[in-house]
Amino acid sequence: MPELPEVEVTRRGIAPALLGARVRSVRLGKPLRWPLGADPATLVGSRVGDVTRRGKYLWLPLDAAGGLLLHLGMSGSLALLQSAPPHGPHDHFDLTTDRGTLRLNDPRRFGAVVWAPAIDANPAATLLARLGAEPFDPALTPAGFHAALQLRRAPIKAVLLAGDVVVGAGNIYACEALFQAGIHPALRADRISRPRAERLLGALRATLARALDLGGSTLRDFTDVHGMSGAYQTSAAVYGREGQACPRCGGAVRRVVQGQRSTFFCPVCQRR
């Protein structure tokens, strides 16, 4: 599933090219998670503003026409095509502009493209309402992060994945950040001390920053807007390394299932 680094890599790829572009046509393919919510013809002629990101959502403002909230779902990716070939069976949305065609490819169709009159108006506001803090937001302090964890009795891995404390920690990045912080993934969030919470927040920020530098992760479907795969997964310390040696202690990396998701960790380095 594309997570925060992959979505931010996508945003960086399309934002400069689409800024000020005029929409020429909109094509809808098979239904996605939610309907568009607008007549595609009403978007034609509008200009694209500065593309922003909130969590794993992208917001494409369209001046007087409102804007589009995009989510890549489980298997989606966006491509910006200067000369778009005929759409394939998994190409479910085209926004054709005078700067190229923004195309959403989503084999599993859990992604979404939703129109809203503004990012702070429904349905966009409802979809974004429960998102936690952005991980690189200076307003997210170690004290605030620790205080939020004290209100959660669930395992810390589950709390990170929920995204209502801090967004962006998808499965691979949650595993890696917990390893870097030396915290067991099953430890209850409200039992994490202030120093360990500060260490975890730092590890999460470092993990996501490195993922951004490496173009995100490609485990199955994700590519950036130029068709390039991410490389973070090749440098992971524990994710996907069950039975292999821990890079710190040399012990075997273990895999368990938490909430139907695989969790990778070192039982020696990561203590409860």
2 given a catalytic annotation: yes
The Cα 90–Cα 221 span in angstroms is 12
254 given a catalytic annotation: no
117 given a catalytic annotation: no
DSSP string, 55-117: TTEEEEE-GGG-EEEEE-TTT-EEEEESSPPPP-TTEEEEEEEBTEEEEEE-TT---EEEEES
Residue reference for tokens 């129109």? 115
Catalytic residue selected from 2, 5, 155, 185: 2
84 or 62, higher pLDDT = 62
Token pair in block for residue 128: 């974004």
Task: For CA atoms 203, 208, 210, 211, give the dihedral sign.
Answer: positive
Q: What is the rounded average pLDDT of the residues 20-46?
A: 96
The Cα 2–Cα 271 span in angstroms is 29
Tens digits of per-residue pLDDT, 133-192? 999 999 999 999 999 999 999 999 999 999 999 998 889 999 999 999 999 999 999 999
Helix (H, G, I), strand (E, B) or coil at 26: strand
Q: What is the rounded average pLDDT of the residues 230-251?
A: 87
Catalytic residue selected from 27, 107, 261, 267: 261
Tens digits of per-residue pLDDT, 249-268? 999 999 999 999 999 999 99
- pLDDT-wise least confident of 68-82, 98-112, 118-132, 204-218: 204-218
Q: Does 224 score more than 60 pLDDT?
A: no
| 36, 75, 135, 136 from 203: Cα distances, Å | 38, 26, 11, 12
Work out the pLDDT band at 217, boundaries 50, 70, 90.
Answer: low
Catalytic residue selected from 11, 53, 56, 157: 56
Catalytic residue selected from 3, 6, 8, 176: 3
Q: What is the rounded average pLDDT of the residues 221-238?
A: 61
Work out the pLDDT band at 1, boundaries 50, 70, 90.
Answer: low
Q: Give all strands (DSSP E) within the chain, no chain letters.
A: 23-28, 52-54, 57-61, 67-71, 77-81, 91-97, 100-105, 112-116, 254-258, 261-265
3 given a catalytic annotation: yes
Work out the pLDDT band at 229, boundaries 50, 70, 90.
Answer: very low
For residue 195, the model assigns a pLDDT of 98
Domain annotation for the chain: domains and CATH numbers: 4-128 (3.20.190.10), 142-265 (1.10.8.50)
5 or 158, higher pLDDT = 158
* DSSP classification of residue 150: T
Mean pLDDT, all residues of the chain: 92
Work out the pLDDT band at 272, boundaries 50, 70, 90.
Answer: confident
Token pair in block for residue 245: 């040696």
- pLDDT-wise least confident of 30-34, 51-55, 138-142, 218-222: 218-222
